[in-house]
Amino acid sequence: MNQNTSVGLQINLHGKTALVTGASGQLGRVMVRILAQAGADVAIHYHRNEAQALALCAEVREQGCAGAVFQADVTEEASVLRLRDEVREQLGDPHILVNNAVIQYPWAPVLEQSAEDFEGQFRSTVLHNVFMVKAFAPAMITRGSGRIIAINTESAMLCAPTSGAYVSGKRGLDGLVRVLARELGPHGVTVNQVAPGWTISDRNRADDTESQSNYEADIPLRRRGYDQEIANVVAFLASDLASYISGIYLPVCGGHVMPAI
């Protein structure tokens, strides 16, 4: 597959502003690049990696789009409200919200995992999305349109041993998104989930760990997905091409999991 294939020419996000949480991370930075290639101005959120966020912002501006960098702890409501005010002041109210940030706690059997890990996973997954929606959805409601995209995972369906804390947080997110889709739909706001599989990122390319034969053997397409393939789907759901799609859990994992009707 050509990893350099871009959806920027097919998907038009000119005149839109997107906010991506966890934008300095392995997947977040690719989402930012694809959204900017499609014409969106981008608010780049980071928690600790300011250097990566600033470098990413320079890339966005090289595309001819407006970009700005914002620090916040998305597990704390006061920090998210500060983020809202700063984004509004510099770029205006976002049309597109991509809730990508997550703290993934060590995997362990449920009988051995601490309650604090479960609570922390809940905060970084469910409350992160609650706080972001409370902060940014009112402006979308006033505008009469908006796109909210939450990043879930194929693990929410696989329910593998030792993934209890992670899966419980992501399953909680699934329920929240479905409720929000019903509550915000009458205001022209779509709410969807993208669920990546075990995705190839820059880190894998650097340490030559792209191929994982045991995992790939269970995937109908017989390969791991690329980070850009996830970002392409995010850009699609952010665009007018997806104007009548809301409430979905969309796996991007080569058929590894297949939601049933």
Distance, in Å, from the CA atom of 151 to the CA atom of 125, rounded to the nearest integer, reads 9
**Is the separation of the CB atoms in 123 and 46 below 8 Å?**
no
3-state helix, strand, coil in the chain (%, to 5): 45, 15, 40
Beta-carbon contacts of 240 under 8 Å, excluding residues fewer than 6 positions away, are: 12
The alpha carbon torsion through 51, 40, 146, 167 (nearest 10 deg) reads -40
Helix, strand, or coil (residue 166): helix
Cα four-point dihedral sign 45, 48, 54, 55: negative
Distance, in Å, from the CA atom of 56 to the CA atom of 50, rounded to the nearest integer, reads 10
Q: Is 166 a catalytic residue?
A: yes
The alpha carbon torsion through 198, 195, 93, 34 (nearest 10 deg) reads 50
Distance, in Å, from the CA atom of 216 to the CA atom of 256, rounded to the nearest integer, reads 9
Q: Considering 166, 215, 244, 249, which one is annotated as catalytic?
A: 166
* 83 Rama class: left (phi>0) / alpha (psi -120 to 50) / beta: alpha
Residue 51 tokens, joined: 């250097």
Helix, strand, or coil (residue 41): strand
What are the catalytic residues?
Answer: 166
